[in-house]
Amino acid sequence: MQTDWTVRAITRAMLPVLLALTLVEIGSGLVLGSFEKELLRSPSLLVLVPVTIGTAGNLGSILAARLSTAFHLGTLSFDPTDETLAGNAVATVALSATVFPLIGLGAWVLAELTTGARLSPATVVVVAVLSGLVLSVLAVTVTVIATYAAYRFELDPDDVVIPAVTNVCDVLGVVVLFLVVGLIL
Amino acid sequence: MTVREVATRAYREGIPALAASAVGGLLAGVVLGSMDAEFRAVPGLLVLVPALLATRGNVYGSLGARVATGLHQGLVDPSVRDADPRLFRAVAAAVLNGLIASTFAALVAFAILGAIGAGPAPLSMLVAIAILAGILSGVVLSGLVVVVVFAGYRRGYNPDTLVGPLVTTAGDVFGVAFLLLAVRIVLAAAGVG
């Protein structure tokens, strides 16, 4: 169905979902608020927050877009031995394993150059890599479940899965960062 | 295709967008990392950060997707100078929805933090910051999305593949930068900064 290009029609189509997603994101903000002291004490951890959230969301949305296209083309089956499913899952974990070490190092360097880092570079890299690996596994799980649910309820995965997965992965990004920081520091 | 072939292809196609958004996220992080004075001055502000950043991504990602679809369908011409009124209405709707969601986020965060006794900053201050940051980032992001999607389309790129990385990268950077600016303006107006 095509939305008319009027303020009213666009708002009617977008606002309910937007407000629901805002509530989900406030949940992630509350988790962030619960370790605010730790974050404010260590600037390198604060630098990690947006990039961890964003990369987790992107891992999910890239995977969701690929599964959604495969689904439309009829080349996807929900079976762990399915090549499309397994290959994309492996790629998600590999992407995470590539970018998160660089993200951790980048966050430490940038914090050191701007406000001065308190933690050692190794600690920040370990926090980033561990968070990234856990998040990639969660992103695969959430995306496969959401795509399967869209398929079962006969919804177009393009409309539903990508925003849902992106925002859920945003929240998981903060939760995982919180747990990993608690574990390591 | 074998699992290995699928994985290699997905990896190669995923790296550019992920790298671009990681750079954007790190830049946003640098701004956030320098905001500890603002976070201390406005309790509850940190709780708003994910909601405000996600709103930018959701609203302007949707605007970009809509404009890209409009170009494909011939509803919109790729020119800012002879812009169709439809385009202005789509931009107005995006900015309006962004402001409503930002205000809603401030209200909900204030209510929850108040209920759990976390002692948030005054509601008027949180709402003023959310609205001001929403207007500033809305003007810049909607302009950027429209200009880049038009320019990409005229040069023969598929606008659909431009929108995602552009919005996540620019949304994070401008979202945090204008949040900082909005906090400073509101604190100065309140006589705190």
Q: ipTM score here?
A: 0.88
- Judge: domain B3-189, CATH 1.10.287.610: no
Which of A63, A68, A61 has its CA nearest to residue A86?
Answer: A63
Sign of the torsion formed by the C-alpha atoms of B48, B54, B59 and B60: positive
Dihedrals φ, ψ of B42, to 5°?
-125, 85
Q: What is the pLDDT of residue A2?
A: 60
Q: What is the pLDDT of residue B45?
A: 96
Contact B36, B42 (CB under 8 A): no
Q: What is the pLDDT of residue A14?
A: 87
Ranges of residues in chain A whose predicted pLDDT is under 50: 1
Q: What is the pLDDT of residue A164?
A: 82
Identify residue A185 by its one-letter amino acid code: L
Q: For residues A28 and A26, give the distance between their C-alpha atoms in angstroms, rounded to a whole number.
A: 5
Interval A43-90: pLDDT, tens: 899 999 999 988 988 898 889 888 888 887 888 888 878 888 999 999
Yes or no, beta carbons of A54 and B75 under 8 Å apart: no
Interval B24-76: pLDDT, tens: 999 999 999 999 899 999 999 999 999 999 999 889 988 988 888 888 888 88
Structural domain boundaries of chain A? 27-184
Q: Among A5, A49, A86, whose Cβ lies nearest the Cβ of B29?
A: A49
Tokens representing A144 are: 């496969």
Residue with tokens 């150059």: A113
Identify residue B3 by its one-letter amino acid code: V
Q: What is the pLDDT of residue B159?
A: 75
Ranges of residues in chain B whose predicted pLDDT is under 70: 192-193
Q: What is the pLDDT of residue A1?
A: 47
Residue with tokens 């406005």: B42
Q: Among A88, A163, A170, whose Cβ lies nearest the Cβ of B10?
A: A88
Q: What is the pLDDT of residue B32?
A: 93
A98 CB neighbour count, 10 Å cutoff: 16
- Pure H helices in chain A: 7-34, 36-41, 43-73, 83-114, 121-152, 157-184
Task: Confirm or reject contact between B51 and chain A (CB < 8 A).
Answer: yes
- Cα A126 to the chain's mean position, in Å? 18
Q: Residue B38: closest CA among chain A residues belongs to which residue?
A: A40
Q: 3-state SS of A18-56? A: HHHHHHHHHHHHHHHHHCHHHHHHCHHHHHHHHHHHHHH
Q: What is the pLDDT of residue B150?
A: 92
Burial track B58-93 (b if 16+ CB lie within 10 A, e otherwise): bbbbbbbbbbbebbeeeebebeeeeeeebbebbbbb
Q: What is the pLDDT of residue B192?
A: 65
Task: Confirm or reject contact between A68 and chain B (CB < 8 A).
Answer: no
Q: Among B28, B34, B94, whose Cβ lies nearest the Cβ of A114?
A: B34
Q: Residue B92: closest CA among chain A residues belongs to which residue?
A: A7
Which of B107, B78, B98 has its CA nearest to residue B167?
Answer: B98
CATH assignment, A27-184: 1.10.357.20
What one-character DSSP code corresponds to residue B142? H
Q: Residue A82: closest CA among chain B residues belongs to which residue?
A: B3
Q: What is the pLDDT of residue B22?
A: 93
Rounded to the nearest 10°, the torsion over CA A28, A30, A34, A38 is: 60
Interchain CB contacts (distance < 8 Å): A and B: 220
Q: Which of A8, A47, A109, A143 to mutate to test binding with chain B, by most B CBs within 10 Å of its CB?
A: A47
Tokens representing B86 are: 């439809």
